[in-house]
């Protein structure tokens, strides 16, 4: 580059960054889609499960008999987890959100640690920081998995069964600080379970019907990569996958994304209190 090139480079830079800002302002990527009937049914199953296991963690805001907000949460061992939380858009900013969060948090009084997935909504982010959560940016991996680049299947990764639950719980205690306990019954009924269990490394992943690892825990990055590849290999070659909730502590997942030719976007935050960011680990969107 010469000094004479600076003018052209500046114009190019201004145009390129304007384009980046426009694209993020429009959220043109990945195209937001309404929740399908099937996903809505899974949401019912998970939430009814939480009302059974954690009635004191699940609250609604009621105005004249109409539900205008809700928060669901769970306590597992010494960890409190915010599962899902929203207020009706025409009621935003009137204090309902804070009241619901306080009610749900009271369920975690006896818990040392806490974890949540924060949406990019600035109201949610502000609330979580104000109650002491450390916020860690998360990434979203999106696109069609490049079939030509699929590695050979790892022969140590096998289908899991309910008999593996003790192994899963001990991995979760070690990696995320609490077992999933009763949530395995629901995850196992809705998702495919992959397990790798060897003296050198072990791990597991629950995988949805689109090939996305919805929760993944491993003792070593190599096992985590093998599990993620096995999940992605089951995706439909013509349908983009969407893997959310990847924190910076999980660069191994970004390496898989690069190799599978997925796009990497910033999206939301992992909030933790008195806990480190789990790795190698991909948190479940609801049960974390």
- Residues lying near ligand COA in the complex (CB under 6 A) are found at 85-87, 92-98, 117-119, 121-124, 126-127, 130
* Sign of the alpha-carbon torsion through 96, 98, 99, 103: positive
What is the smallest separation between the CB atom of 270 and ligand COA, expressed in angstroms? 11
Detail the DSSP E strand segments found in the chain: 59-63, 66-76, 79-87, 113-118, 134-143, 157-159, 192-197, 202-207, 213-218, 241-247, 263-273, 281-282
What is the smallest separation between the CB atom of 132 and ligand COA, expressed in angstroms? 13
Closest residue to bound ligand COA by CB = 97
Nearer to ligand COA, 140 or 223 (CB): 140
CB 165 within 8 A of CB 181: no
What is the smallest separation between the CB atom of 69 and ligand COA, expressed in angstroms? 6
CA atoms within 13 A on the CB side of 28: 8
Nearer to ligand COA, 98 or 173 (CB): 98
Nearer to ligand COA, 211 or 278 (CB): 278
Nearer to ligand COA, 135 or 254 (CB): 135
Of 48, 42, 47, the C-alpha closest to 189 is 42
Number of H helices, E strands in the chain: 8, 12
What is the smallest separation between the CB atom of 86 and ligand COA, expressed in angstroms? 4
Give the separation between CA 192 and CA 207, rounded to whole angstroms. 5
What is the smallest separation between the CB atom of 98 and ligand COA, expressed in angstroms? 3
Nearer to ligand COA, 34 or 199 (CB): 34
């Amino acid at each position: 580059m010469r000094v004479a090139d600076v003018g052209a480079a500046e114009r190019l830079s201004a145009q390129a960054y304007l384009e980046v800002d426009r694209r993020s302002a429009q959220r043109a990527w990945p195209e937001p889609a309404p929740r399908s009937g099937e996903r809505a049914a899974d949401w019912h199953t998970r939430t009814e499960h939480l009302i059974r296991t954690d009635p004191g963690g699940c609250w609604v805001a009621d105005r004249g008999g109409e539900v205008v907000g809700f928060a669901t949460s769970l306590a597992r061992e010494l960890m409190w987890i915010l599962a899902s939380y929203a207020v009706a858009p025409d009621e935003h900013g009137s204090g309902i959100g804070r009241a619901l969060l306080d009610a749900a948090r009271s369920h975690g009084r006896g818990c040392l640690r806490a974890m949540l997935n924060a949406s990019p909504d600035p109201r949610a982010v502000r609330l979580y920081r104000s109650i002491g959560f450390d916020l860690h940016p998360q990434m979203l991996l999106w696109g069609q998995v490049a079939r030509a680049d699929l590695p050979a299947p790892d022969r140590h990764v096998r289908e899991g069964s309910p008999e593996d639950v003790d192994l899963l719980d001990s991995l979760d205690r070690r990696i995320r600080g609490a077992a999933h306990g009763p949530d395995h019954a629901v995850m196992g009924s809705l998702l495919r379970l992959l397990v790798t269990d060897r003296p050198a490394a072990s791990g597991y992943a629950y995988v949805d019907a689109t090939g996305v690892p919805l929760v993944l825990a491993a003792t070593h990055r190599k096992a985590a990569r093998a599990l993620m590849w096995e999940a992605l290999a089951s995706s439909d070659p013509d349908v983009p996958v969407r893997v959310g909730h990847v924190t910076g502590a999980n660069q191994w997942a970004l390496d898989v994304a690069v190799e599978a030719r997925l796009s990497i976007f910033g999206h939301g935050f992992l909030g933790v209190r008195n806990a480190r960011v789990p790795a190698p680990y991909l948190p479940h969107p609801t049960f974390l």
